[in-house]
């Protein structure tokens, strides 16, 4: 693996994105465990790409959740529920990934669900230019139902213990002294980490990713680009 600064990583990732030669919008998956730093990395990439003049579409798995009653039907702490019941993958393909793909009309929507109100959304359809870049962050993006919808895939790898530490720190920062770190720990240990272990067993995401980013050290990340997989995008 190479190692460097955040700027070095972003430079390498934007170079990989820029080297892709396809005739439809480039669909980039940014996968990894919860609290790995996927959203931050996607937002950083968006800033760099927009500064280079690229049209960027930002989307996240949290806007493709099923309603609470469905995603928690196996129980609040069910790892199987997290993996199998949480996300509307059919909607992801139908309103976003397929329209931006090689046979699509580039008319897309970036969300079907509003988490705060636990209600579905019906956004107006937008049209992407052919050279747009979709940066989509989320969990379980390299599972069999989705893997062939990505033109470039990035897996953000972090030790599970580190993700728990980050989640607790984030919860405390957002809620202050009222943060329930015990609840966060239980959710991580019973739902989120076991669901990732299930994902690794069933889908082997790191075997399929084009780029692996080790994000244990945020300011000194390491990365591996797999040329034999990158060549498939040309």
pLDDT per 10-residue tile (average), the chain, 234 residues: 96 96 96 96 98 97 97 97 98 98 97 96 96 98 97 97 90 58 91 97 97 96 79 40
What does the pLDDT read at residue 231? Answer: 38
pTM: 0.93
Q: What phi-psi label fits residue 66: left (phi over 0), alpha (psi between -120 and 50 degrees) or beta?
A: beta
CB 165 within 8 A of CB 159: no
What does the pLDDT read at residue 178? Answer: 52
Q: Rounded distance, CA 195 to CA 187, Å?
A: 11
Q: Classify strands 26-31 and 222-225 as parallel, antiparallel or unpaired.
A: unpaired
Q: Rounded distance, CA 93 to CA 101, Å?
A: 10
Q: How far is CA 59 from the centre of its chain?
A: 9
Q: Rounded distance, CA 10 to CA 45, Å?
A: 6
What does the pLDDT read at residue 170? Answer: 81
Residue with tokens 């790409």: 49
> What are the structure tokens assigned to 26, written together?
């480039």
What does the pLDDT read at residue 181? Answer: 81
Q: What phi-psi label fits residue 111: left (phi over 0), alpha (psi between -120 and 50 degrees) or beta?
A: beta
What does the pLDDT read at residue 83? Answer: 98
What does the pLDDT read at residue 232? Answer: 44
DSSP the chain: -EE--HHHHHHHHHHHHHH---SS-EEEEEE-STTSSHHHHHHHHHHHHHHTT--EEEEEGGGGBPPHHHHTTT-TT-HHHHHHTSB-HHHHIIIIITTTSTT--SEE-S-SEETTTTEE--PPPEE--TT-EEEEE-SSTTSTTTGGG-SEEEEEE--HHHHHHHHHHHHHHHHGGG--HHHHHHHIIIIIHHHHHHHHHHH-HHHH-SEEEE-SSTTS-EEEE-HHHHGGG-
Return the CATH superfamily for domain 2-226: P-loop containing nucleotide triphosphate hydrolases (3.40.50.300)
What does the pLDDT read at residue 179? Answer: 57
């Amino acid at each position: 693996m190479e190692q460097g600064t955040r700027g070095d990583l972003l430079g390498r990732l934007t170079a990989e994105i820029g080297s892709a030669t396809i005739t439809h919008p480039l669909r980039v998956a940014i996968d990894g465990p919860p609290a790995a730093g996927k959203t931050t990395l996607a937002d950083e990439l968006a800033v760099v790409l927009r500064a280079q003049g690229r049209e960027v579409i930002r989307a996240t798995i949290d806007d493709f959740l099923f309603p609470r009653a469905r995603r928690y039907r196996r129980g609040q702490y069910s790892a199987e529920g997290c993996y199998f019941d949480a996300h509307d993958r059919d909607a992801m393909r139908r309103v976003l990934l397929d329209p931006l793909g090689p046979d699509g009309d580039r008319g897309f929507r970036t969300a079907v669900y509003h988490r705060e109100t636990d209600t579905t959304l019906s956004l107006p359809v937008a049209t992407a230019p052919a050279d747009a870049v979709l940066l989509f962050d989320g969990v379980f993006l390299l599972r069999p139902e989705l893997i062939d919808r990505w033109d470039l895939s990035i897996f953000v790898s972090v030790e599970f213990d580190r993700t728990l530490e980050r989640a607790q720190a984030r919860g405390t920062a957002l809620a202050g002294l009222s943060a329930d770190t015990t609840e966060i720990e239980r959710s991580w240990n019973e739902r989120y980490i076991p669901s990732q272990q299930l994902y690794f067993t069933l889908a082997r995401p790191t075997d399929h990713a084009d780029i692996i980013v080790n994000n244990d050290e945020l300011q000194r990340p390491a990365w591996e680009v797999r040329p034999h997989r990158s060549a498939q995008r040309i």
